[in-house]
Each structure stands twice: as C-alpha cells, then as structure tokens.
Structure 1
C-alpha cells in the first residue's frame, strides 16, 4: 500500500478532512479521492455556491458573504455527522487563518480526529491548470489570472504552530511530509 493510499484510508473513526491550496492546486481532485473511502461524506463549497447563489458572485466581497452564510448553515450539520461517526471531507479552501479557525472549531466541537491536507503548488503551475480548467468549461466558475492574483494575495500557508495534523503534498499530488 503506498503512502497516499494509507492517508486516504487511514482510520475507522470519524475524521474531518480539510484542504488548503491555491486555486487550481488540486483541492477538488484530492477531496474526491479522500471521499471515496467508506463512511465519508464530501461537501463542496463550489457546488453549494453554484446552486444557492447562481450568478451572484462577482466580487471577492460577494464570495466572502455567501461562503460565510454556507459555513453558518453547515456548522451544526458537519458536527452532527462527525459525532455520528461519519467522516467529513470539506472541499472548502482552508487558505487563511480565519478559515482554519472555523475548521478547528468543527473538529473540536465533535471531539474527532482531523487532517489538514496542504497542496504546496507554485503560482505558475496553478495558473497553467486554471487556464486549462477555464477552457474545459467543466468547473462552475471561471477565474481570470487577475482574480487568481487578487485571491492568492490573501493566501496564508498553514504553520505547524496552528496545531493541525498536517499532510503536505507536492505539485504532482504526492505526499511530501
């Protein structure tokens, strides 16, 4: 069994899986693999926003407002799933200290295990993937290079002092440490 398979199927107890990485770093691909394990539920921020707020996200402020509503709505539900023994994989960007504080509040309230999966991918690779993703039309949102730069300016890599069980991946998706 390789290192990634061990991480994907690492526990029989409930765990909260969070992802951190820039736009187009591979968060959704990783969360899909993580959620494929038994007794895991995937919740995707992009899908919730696209369904609940179609054509309402035009600025970073619009996004922040809508995602705050979704997080408020889902907090008790996520904690309930975790306390019931179901692992939760959140395809939400835990890219700031504030977002990670919300994630920590979830696993602490549930008293469960957690993992923060950090995709350490360069801006150049993310922009190349973003261009391909935009051309494919398969993602619910189109993000320009300028928007990437604006959003990435708020990105804060996780620090070991934040207290997360951190798993770091390289640009190929392989576990670095």
Structure 2
C-alpha cells in the first residue's frame, strides 16, 4: 500500500480539515493573510520563507536557486502536510501558489487526502505591491530582500488562477477584504 492510498483510506473523504493556499504577487499580503487565517481557523501554519531562511541561509540569489530550494522543501513536506490533513488538522500554507505548477502541487495535497480547500487570491496591483515591498525591505523584518528588478522577473511568471483549475477561490482586494468567493464572479477566465 502506498502512502497515497493510506492517506485516502484514512481520510475517508469526510474530513473536516481544510487546506488553505495563497496566491498573489510579492508583497500583496500573503503572509499577513495567512497569519490571520491561522488565528481565525485554528490551523497549522507552514511558511515557505521560514523554511527557506533556516535551511538555505544566504543560498538563494537567483530565481533558479529559489526554484531548486522550494522544490526540495515541497518534496520533504508533502507527506507531512497530507498526514496533518488526514488527521483532521487544517493547514495554512504560506507558499506562493502563483503558477499552474505550484497550484498542481496544492491540488495533489488536498485531492489525495480528500479534504476541503481554499485558494485565497490577493488581487493587488503592481504599484501597491512595489510600495509594500519597499517598506518591507526597509523594515528588515522579512528574511529576504527583493529588489524591484527581482520583483519584475518573478512577477513575469505569475499566472492568475483559472476556473478550469477547479479551486474553491476566495478573492481579496488590496485592503485584505473579501471581494468575491468565486473565480467566475470576478472574471478570472481561461
């Protein structure tokens, strides 16, 4: 029996656990939202930035470095996250679910366990994100400094979630308020 089949059998597709994922550009408010979700939902928070900062200090200088290290973290955490969900614990992932590939990983997590999920999309424009990024860099509180050039490079890979991806989407505006609970309601389309 594979770990995947054990998780599905153990979850029974009647699990109260919810997997929360966040999608939004750099400095759109993903970490702020995940902190709020953990408090409101009494969930377990797993932060990619925290893992990256501890496991790969001063090793992430390029997008390729990030992709390599993030892939390793996801490989290590997949079974752990699924075990938490199968045990009935809701999980909030402070990982950027900003591409179809990263969202496919999220789908694998919740579909294998058979639990509920939410994709929280922060619809925040570039000007606001860049202003927040500048303030975040100046504060020194975030484990990573991101230049405007890096912002532009990374943002080129950002892909809006599409209804065809099959997520339960909650959309937030730049103030962090819920604007919509459906990709179709806000015009996210193919």
Relative to the length of structure 1, the TM-score reads 0.92
Q: Which runs of 4+ in 1 moved over 4 A?
A: none
**Which residue pairs with 1:166 in the alignment?**
169
Distance in 1 between the 2:33 and 2:168 partners? 17
Describe the superposition over 1:85-135 as per-residue Cα deviations: whole angstroms up to 9, x where unpaired.
000000000000000000000000111000000000000000000000000
Q: CA RMSD, aligned part only? A: 1.0
What runs of 5+ residues in structure 2 fail to find an aligned partner? Answer: 1-14, 181-190
Q: Confirm or deny that 1:42 pairs with 2:45.
A: yes
Task: Choose 1 or 2 for highest CA Rg.
Answer: 2
**Which residue pairs with 2:60 in the alignment?**
57
Distance in 2 between the 1:173 and 1:41 partners? 21
Distance in 2 between the 1:166 and 1:23 partners? 19
Q: Confirm or deny that 1:126 pairs with 2:129.
A: yes
Distance in 1 between the 2:59 and 2:27 partners? 21
Match of 2:156 among 153, 156, 159: 153
Match of 1:21 among 12, 21, 24: 24
Distance in 2 between the 1:63 and 1:38 partners? 29
Shift of 1:161: 1.2
What runs of 5+ residues in structure 1 fail to find an aligned partner? Answer: 1-11
Distance in 1 between the 2:42 and 2:112 partners? 19
